Chain A
Amino acid sequence: MSEDARSQQLMLLADGELSPEEEAKVAEELRASGSRREELVRITRQRLMIAELLAKEEIPATKSATSRAAVQARPARSAYWRLLGTVAAAVLLVAGLYLARGPAKDPSDLSNATDIVVRRTLRDGTEVSLAPGVRAMALGEDVERNIRQVIRLDSGQINVRTPKSMSGTACRIQTPEGLWVETLGTTFAATRTFENENGERDMDAKKLAGLVTAVLLINVMEGEVRAGSAGAQEARSKAGSSMKVVPGELPQITHKDLGKWQVTSWGNPASLTVMNDPFTGEGVLAIALPGTGKADKSAMGSTLGRAVKPGKTFESLICAKAKEKKIEQSGLKVAVGFQTQNGYYESTLRQVRAGAWQSLSVDLTGSDFKCQKTGWAYKAQLVGSVTEIYLIFYTQNAWSIHVKGVSLSTATAPKPTVQKRVRAAEAP
């Protein structure tokens, strides 16, 4: 048998196209030959890679008319793979399983880990050019806002060419900070970068000193775009012009405006998962304190991505359960910390009783915060704009805690923040 014929056998084996007798024969060969196994690895990898590309529509091609339900309905045919695992899937049940989930929203990873520009055509026909190192995700349709394609830009530059839609639906790029640019049919480049107080820019926030803010730079090549940010008025920009979108002051900072929550290194170990409340869709922090470590507390914090003047209150809902019942009797001591431009401030301790959702609120105008300047005595006022929020749990025991409805009122009203510029130098 020629080398190609042997390779073909392996491909047929992986694709489930061999008879049981043929499979047994190839399986024997595989046991005996390391090079055959290497080749099967190559074929197995290529199979998954092709499936991954096709599933996420990462290949510019004419779309198949086949419905998602039919795609899901594929039974596993290979007797070989059955030996690895089991027998074939039931076509209708699988189709039903997926249909029951409702309309499909296929988030597609647009990140470009290569060092060349990658061009992609998305499901709705939007063409994107992805600069090396870009991190972005095509989130699909947002019916409520009449948007046919939402792209979340996490970092880097993305060039977008959107075909005009007969139905008048738009394409939107947004950043985790709520900066956005939207268009009905045009060509533009969008770059998420960071800027400090001195106007210095870098894609990596860590390389900038001082107070750093995320900004979205837009360069319009054709047509017109609208852009804005949460809490700010929108602005329009036409072909040949550039604009910079910066975050506006929000009347209220809520969970969706916060950055990723992380367990701090100065507290005891904890695990943290962010889930969505199935009823309200809002973010819920699920925190597990394993009861290990030598510190007297565990803490987790989130960065706001900008400095926010604090308003009257910090509000949230908290529900805590201890691993051991006897621990629950004394409740859980919780404090809320605020990193401002003037330093770290922490509220007085709140006693949370176990087993029920209850309010956790802090009066931001009070004079009972502790900070370094007061020698950590609870007699300071919160001074400066808040850049980070912390939840601190004073316990060394094992607890399971859920926190939701995080909300920080701010002192300033929304104001327009989109700055239009027509200098070519502004272009990313």
Chain B
Amino acid sequence: MSAAGVPEETKIVVEYPGELESSDGILTALVRRLAGELRFDSLELDEGEGPLGGRITLWFRYGAKRIFHVSVVRKTGRTLVELGGLDPGDVLRAIASCRTHFDRLLGIEPEQVRSFESSLRP
């Protein structure tokens, strides 16, 4: 909880070296996957308009609360995926699902993830 009484978000930003060719259908399978893990009753798709497509944000809402969001930002030669939400337990499970989804989408193999994580260990 922040000083102003607003609950703080659990949030991560994952940077992928590849660039998405098209945004068509990139979140369709993810919504189905997260339907089993998050309790939401509405989705709000916000597509920032810009010459390069800008930022795509999908908000997962339960009642009036935005409980989780996935943002995809297309940069030249890389893709940033921002994942965050309110309840840490639910959010960490959703983040794991999202990472698996975007890894597959952007051609990252599980072996590459394992070798990267082992390289971080002292």
* Physical interaction between A and B: no
Which B residues have a C-beta under 8 Å from some C-beta of A?
none
